[in-house]
Amino acid sequence: MSCWVVPTVAAEVWEMDLSQVMRAIHDGSAVSKTENGLQVVDVAPHGKEICRPDACSHQLAPVTYTSVSDAELDLLHASDSDFDSSPLNWRRGRVEASFRRKAPGTFPLLKAA
């Protein structure tokens, strides 16, 4: 039995990006039709079981992170003494910035005229 939904709902059901669903519609790997000016996709074209289109089933979701290099990982796990000579010493910069901060209440208050 068919189950016709709009492409955004199909993307949620199939757990994929809307752009992948639109690509599947364009490729013809996803069954779709236009009714009353509204494009709909059949998420269960072969019966009661909802399945992804064949062309999209092997595609993985895009990577949403960047890998940390070994050198960066070593710097993250380095001890404090290793950071004293490093130009990436964020701890030293944080301490220096804390001395430049002004405490609340040291700014002159604006008086209403």
Q: 8 and 53: one domain?
A: yes
**Residue 65 counted as domain residue:** no
In this structure, the answer to whether residues 15 and 36 fall within a common structural domain is yes
Q: Do 53 and 8 sit in the same domain of this protein?
A: yes
Residue 64 lies in a domain: no
Q: Is residue 112 in a domain?
A: no
24 and 50 fall within a common domain: yes
**Residue-level pLDDT at 109:** 61
Same domain for 74 and 53: no
The secondary structure of 18-31 as a DSSP string is HHHHHHHHHHTSS-
In a domain, 42, yes or no: yes
Contacts of 16 (CB under 8 A, 6+ apart): 52, 56, 59, 61
CA dihedral angle for residue 20, residue 22, residue 27, residue 31, rounded to 10 degrees = 110
Number of domains in the chain: 2
Residue-level pLDDT, tens digit, the chain, 113 residues = 678 899 999 998 888 889 888 998 888 888 899 988 999 998 887 777 777 776 455 555 566 778 888 888 887 777 656 556 666 677 777 888 888 887 776 666 666 55
Do residues 51 and 8 both lie within one domain? yes
**Statement to judge: residues 48 and 8 lie in one domain:** yes
Co-location of 52 and 77 in the same domain: no
Domain that holds residue 28: 4-57
Position 59 scores a pLDDT of 55
Per-residue confidence (pLDDT) for residue 8, from 0 to 100: 92
Tell me if 62 is assigned to some domain. Answer: no
